[in-house]
Amino acid sequence: MLKGRHVIQPDDLSVAEIEEICALAEQIIVDPNSFKDVCRGKILAALFFEPSTRTRLSFEAAMLRLGGAVEGFADASYTSTTKGEILADTIRVVSSYADVIAMRSPKEGAALLASKYSDCPIINAGDGGHFHPTQTLTDLLTIRRLRGSFENQTVCFVGDLKFGRTVHSLTQAMCRYPGNKFIFVSPKELTVPEYMIEDILKPAGVQYECAERMEDVIDKADILYMTRVQKERFFNEQDYIRLKDSYILDKEKMKLAKSDMIVLHPLPRVNEISYEVDDDPRAAYFKQVKFGMYARMSLIAKLTGAL
C-alpha cells in the first residue's frame, strides 16, 4: 500500500510499486474522465522554495485534474521563512491543512527533513543536487510508452552530470532493471559524482562508460538524455560561461544516432538542444512533459488513498 507514504528518492518505491504507478498512469492516459473526481475534497500543498515552472504546474494540474484543490507558494520570499521560521515548523503547519505536500528546495536533504515532521505524505519535487523522484517516474513512464520496456536500454546522459538530480535519480532507478547500460558524457568538471559510481553503479554490476564527446558515443544510445548546464549550481560565473555551451545537440549529431533512439530532457532547455531538433520524430521531450502530469496524477491518487 502506498497510502500515507513519503517519496523522497527513487528507492522509496519498489520495482513493483513503480509498475503499479505506471500502470495506473496509463489507465488515466486512456480514459482521463474516469479519474476527474477521485481526489475531490483533498488538498495538495505545493511548497516551492526554488523556482520551477514545469514541476510546480504539473503537480497543480495533476491534482486539479483529479478533482482536488491546491494551495502553496512559488516564491519563498513571501513565506514566514523570511521571518526566521524553520522548515520543521513550516511543515508542521502546512501538513495540518493538506492531504499531500509536494516540496522543492535548493538544499540537499530538505525533503527528508520535512518528512520527519509532516502528518501527510511528502513528495520530493527536487532537493538541490540530490533527487527528483517524480521526474524519474516521468522519465520511466515516457520510456515505457515510447521504448516499450525499462530493460535492455542503453542510456546516454549528456551535460551536467555532477549537479543534475534528474540524472542521479534516473540512473538509480534504471540500475534496478536487467540489461541496462549507461554512457556519461560531460566535461571533466561536471562528471558523474563518485558516490554514484561507488554506491549505485558498481554494486548493481551494470556496465557504464564515460566520455567527453557526444559524437563518439551517440550511435550506441537507445535513449539520449540531455541536460542543461545549470548556472545556479556554480559558485564561479566564469566556470559557468566556459562550460555552458559544451554540448549542443543539433541535426548533424542526430544523423549519427539510431533511427529509433528517443531524446529526453527534463527541461527547461537553454541552448543544449537546437530548435531544429524539435521536428525530429525522435525528439520526445515535450511528450515527456505531458507524461509527467499523468505520472504525478497516479502518484497523488496512490499516496492520498484515493485509489
Q: Which residues are catalytic?
A: 54-55, 83, 104, 132
Total residue length of the chain: 307
CA-based nearest residue to 285, from 302, 262, 258: 262
